[in-house]
Structure 1
């Protein structure tokens, strides 16, 4: 399973814990640089998009939301803590 993660400069232990849940590939974009908005693309194989709300600029958040809606990819918002991420992913059935 592939996941797209947007926000945070470094994923830290979250990346390993997501892999333990069965996510084999993680595409990560920092989401702070305004130039990243123009180059943003959700991979076709992405099962969901995880957005760290406290590490992303507003314009990127709007672009991510519109792309996810257009591609019918589930969008998950969470703070950058494993407890918050785990709770949101459990809601997706992972």
Structure 2
């Protein structure tokens, strides 16, 4: 599965954590560009992961609404592997995403 990652300038160990959950590819947007307000979620994205401690509320709300319109699972996490793992476990448990 491919995930759209929004927020965080650097990902650190996050790609390793994503691989453990079957997310082998990702698209990373830092969320700092002004053009982010007029984006579309890429077709290949099976889920959206938002690192909320590295983006503003406006971008967070826009991403949330776009994911909802596209019927794509969206999780919000801090940029820490422990928090990401916790959120991915919760998401996996909800069975909304058949690709995980």
TM-score of the superposed pair, with normalisation by structure 1: 0.89
Equivalent residues in 2 for 1:21-40 (5 A)? 21-38=21-38, 40=39
Partner Cα separation in structure 2 for residue 12 and residue 22 of structure 1: 18
Partner Cα separation in structure 1 for residue 52 and residue 81 of structure 2: 14
Report the equivalent of 2:40.
41
Q: Does residue 80 in structure 1 map to residue 79 in structure 2?
A: yes
Superposition CA RMSD, Å: 1.3
Q: Does residue 18 in structure 1 map to residue 28 in structure 2?
A: no
Partner Cα separation in structure 1 for residue 90 and residue 15 of structure 2: 18
Q: Does residue 64 in structure 1 map to residue 63 in structure 2?
A: yes
Contact kept? 1:49, 1:76, Cα under 8 Å:
yes
Structure 1: segments with no counterpart, 5+ residues: none
Paired residue secondary structure (1:63)? helix
Structure 2: segments with no counterpart, 5+ residues: 93-99
TM-score of the superposed pair, with normalisation by structure 2: 0.84
Partner Cα separation in structure 2 for residue 58 and residue 33 of structure 1: 14
Paired residue secondary structure (2:34)? coil
Q: CA deviation at 1:14?
A: 0.6
Q: Give the 4+ runs in structure 1 shifted more than 4 A.
A: none
